[in-house]
Amino acid sequence: MFGLAKKDANLLLIVAGLVMLAPFILNPFPGESAMAQFNAGYPDLMQRFVIFGIFAIGFNLLFGLTGYLSFGHAAFLGVGSYAGVWMMKLLTINVIPAILISTLVAGIFSIAIGYISLRRSGIYFSILTLAFAQMSFALAASVLTPITGGETGLQTALSDPRILDSASSGGNIPSPAIFGMEMRDSAELVLGGWTFTFNVGYYLCAVVMILAFYTAIRIFRSPFGLMLRAIKSNQQRLNYTGLNTRPYMLACFVISGMYAGLAGGLMVSMDPLAGAERMQWTASGEVVLMTILGGAGTLIGPVLGAGMIKYFENIFSKINESVLHQWFAFMPDGLEDVIVAMLYPFIGKGWHLTLGIVFMLVVIFLPGGLVEGGQRIGAMFKRKAKADDKSSANVEPAE
């Protein structure tokens, strides 16, 4: 199906299903219940899930396939964001040109950075990409202020030309839209205690993400993907097999950069504001964490990792001390205080600590990331099922 092997087609369908039904799946608790704060089914966060999913899928094409660890991928995200906002300022408030140009500009930018950085491999490549990203960040925050808006960031304004749009309607800054449908428009479905929100912006991101995921599967399974995995495995043999690794690496780097640009374009389509902090090294580090946490080199891993980190960042960080006191209110006062004091460092602003511990545990015990965890659980059930078969058959000799 879709030119994919059965297993990959199934994976694609599962991902598509999950993404399309996310407003339900991420909203398991009724709005009034105490657990409602664990609901992640609101548009803003769901958009972030899929946008960072795209970012991580692209990063994984580079890191997972070739083993080249780029530490400056946020630069492409940032460049894409700026390009997107400029399109919405100059051309039209319709997000389609913005998204396309974001991808394109990030691609061109990554040709330049890749051409230089790929002269080195290993840690030196990482440092070069990091240096370029930090330079981009510093430039965007200072000397390039006329283009980037400096530290306040770049945003749309009422006085923007927008040459393709008809004269501005009323005194409001138009909000990003796709053929008249505004990104922030939502339909709500109220079912009992639940409120499900279906947001135009989210579904645009979701469709783009499914397409991006599909493309990534095709690249993974293609001869091009095979060569990239060969680069990771033994670059010397590849050279002596008559293959020029340089253009393979550059092509991969540019594709990866374009994914980041696409994510940046979608980000500003949801909220037309691009700031320099989006290019900072912490943002580059975040996508590395996402990919490793989920499972580098796997198809679904980066998406899971992105989802997990964004969930922690947005949900875990909102649990505060009074919420903890509510949860443990059934305990005797002294014990309640002790428990709350013990848990307090791990919640609210301490979510980084929890994430750090989870990350450490995953790297130590599941080097293949969350995907490996899933596979182990799957294998456990299979083995159990087999053992059951054996004991019922009972006559089979031991192997």
- The site for other proteins (CB under 8 A) is made up of 3-5, 218-219, 221-227, 229-230, 232-234, 236-245, 247-248, 251, 255
- Minimal distance, residue 225 CB to other proteins, in Å: 7
- Minimal distance, residue 144 CB to other proteins, in Å: 33
Nearer to other proteins, 51 or 231 (CB): 231
Nearer to other proteins, 233 or 326 (CB): 233
What is the DSSP code (8-state) at residue 174?
Answer: P
- Minimal distance, residue 175 CB to other proteins, in Å: 36
Asked whether 47 and 65 are in contact (CB, 8 A), the reply is no
Nearer to other proteins, 209 or 255 (CB): 255
Asked whether 12 and 214 are in contact (CB, 8 A), the reply is yes
- Minimal distance, residue 83 CB to other proteins, in Å: 24
Residues 6+ apart with CB under 8 A from 282: none
Nearer to other proteins, 33 or 241 (CB): 241
- Minimal distance, residue 65 CB to other proteins, in Å: 11
Asked whether 31 and 187 are in contact (CB, 8 A), the reply is no
- Minimal distance, residue 1 CB to other proteins, in Å: 12
Helices (H) and strands (E) in the chain, counts: 17, 6
Distance of alpha carbon 54 from alpha carbon 182, whole angstroms = 22
Write out the H or E segment, with its range, that includes residue 273: strand 273-274
* Token pair in block for residue 311: 């969930």
Nearer to other proteins, 238 or 339 (CB): 238
> What is the torsional sign of CA 65, 68, 69, 73?
negative
Helix, coil or strand: residue 246: helix
